Amino acid sequence: MSPRLQAIYHIRSDARSIEARARAIAVEQSVEMPLSAIADEFVHAEIVGRVEGIAEQEPGLFEVRISLAAQTVGGDPGQLINMLFGNTSLHDDVTLHDVALPAELVKGFGGPRHGLHELRRRVGAPARALTCSALKPQGLPPAGLADLALRFARGGVDYIKDDHGLADQAYSPFRARVDAVAEALRTLDPGGKTVRYVPSLAGDLDAMREQIDDAGRAGVDTVMVAPMIAGLSNFHRLVREHPTVAFVAHPTMAGAAQIAPAFLLGTLFRVLGADAVVFPNYGGRFGYSPDTCRALARAALDDRDGLRPSVPVPAGGMTTDRVPEMLDFYGADVMLLIGGALLEAREQLTEATAAFVAKVRGHAYG
């Protein structure tokens, strides 16, 4: 028997229909045709999806486990999500809850090339929680963003990422922005030992390759990508092609209702090579629960299949006064990202950043 993916779906259904629903999803996500029309024995034995279990979670909500042949994936990340959830995503009463991926498939993708340890090493912080802020708003010219970066860096932050809205717009073209920010940070940290700029890539695969090259020429070795917009296959291709570059994954367009964040952002982005994963923290601007965030961080960090840990980066409306609570919740294997709340300090941006950084460095873990 060849290896199979074990996919878990949550389905809203009445009890009478759930077996038929489960079988329909197993067919939809594999052969997508009536089984009676299939003559081939190999297809019946290997390719057709199999309902492996059905359990009622609460009245009207079922957990269904379906196994799918790993052969159908052909080693491609886009085809993986296509097989796991493609057409079934068109049903609004089904979510993809979790997937156990065969070790061979995980090994083929390879996970983070750097991960937690290297992201700490790059900023000379061997054991503590990392800090991050964001350059915004879009609309500022490169010099304006570079000025913000400098003030964040003076406050002692470890990573300074682009807002994910910064792309390759006329008011701040990618190359001009990267050059300006990198140059500003070099004045402060000539050896590049304490702070890293993380520009956000945009466009098609070739555009992103050029942006990575431009970033490299400016001495930048960490970038951000939105895998659900770039396409999972293209994200993974960038990871494979650029072994010295660290990749931060952004959740934009990851959807709310359809794929469980712990699997999509925690497991899948990590398996495909994300060194760090930004996600909306509970109690911020988005509706993720503490349980969702805990499961996501665990999926990013846990010891599995020999993968390096990916750094969880909770974000989305965080403030400095939440630092102690967040560090108690996540522990030190985390990167805290505060953007807007620091920028609100305006003239006191450096001081506000320093206060954030001090709170992270001085935290007494419970």
Within 8 A by CB and 6+ apart from 100, the residues are 5, 6
Which of 45, 55 has the CB closer to a second copy?
45
Long-range contacts of 47-54 (CB under 8 A, 24+ apart): 47/71, 47/72, 49/25, 50/4, 50/26, 51/19, 51/22, 51/23, 51/26, 52/6, 54/18, 54/19, 54/22
Neighbours of 333 (CB within 10 A): 17
Using rule CB under 8 A, residue 176 touches a second copy:
no
Kindly state the smallest distance separating residue 73's Cβ from a second copy, in Å.
Answer: 8
Of 106, 248, 254, 295, the residue at the interface with a second copy (CB under 8 A) is 254
Report the site for a second copy in 38-57 (rule: CB under 8 A). 38-40, 42-43, 46-48
Q: Does 147 bind a second copy (CB under 8 A)?
A: no
Local structure of 207: helix, strand or coil: helix
Reference 276, options 130, 110, 115, 134; nearest CA is 115
Q: Does 186 bind a second copy (CB under 8 A)?
A: no
Contact residue for a second copy among 14, 32, 213, 321 (CB under 8 A)? 32
Determine, following the binding rule CB under 8 A, whether residue 339 of this chain makes contact with a second copy. Answer: yes
Of 346-365, which residues contact a second copy (CB under 8 A)?
Answer: 346
Stretch binding a second copy (CB under 8 A), from 189-197, 215-223, 249-257, 328-336? 249-257
Q: Which span (51-59, 103-111, 113-121, 222-230) binds a second copy, by CB under 8 A? A: 222-230
- Using CB under 8 A, pick the residue from 14, 20, 55, 74 that binds a second copy: 74
User: According to CB under 8 A, which one of 86, 216, 324, 331 is a site residue for a second copy?
Assistant: 86
Instruction: Give me the least distance between CB of 332 and a second copy, in Å please.
Output: 26
Match 């060194």 to its residue by tokens: 275
Q: Which is nearer to a second copy, 125 or 345 (CB)?
A: 345
- For the beta sheet containing 246-249, the strands, ordered from the edge strand earlier in sequence to the opposite edge, are 222-225, 246-249, 276-280, 311-315
Please say whether the beta carbons of 354 and 158 come within 8 A: no
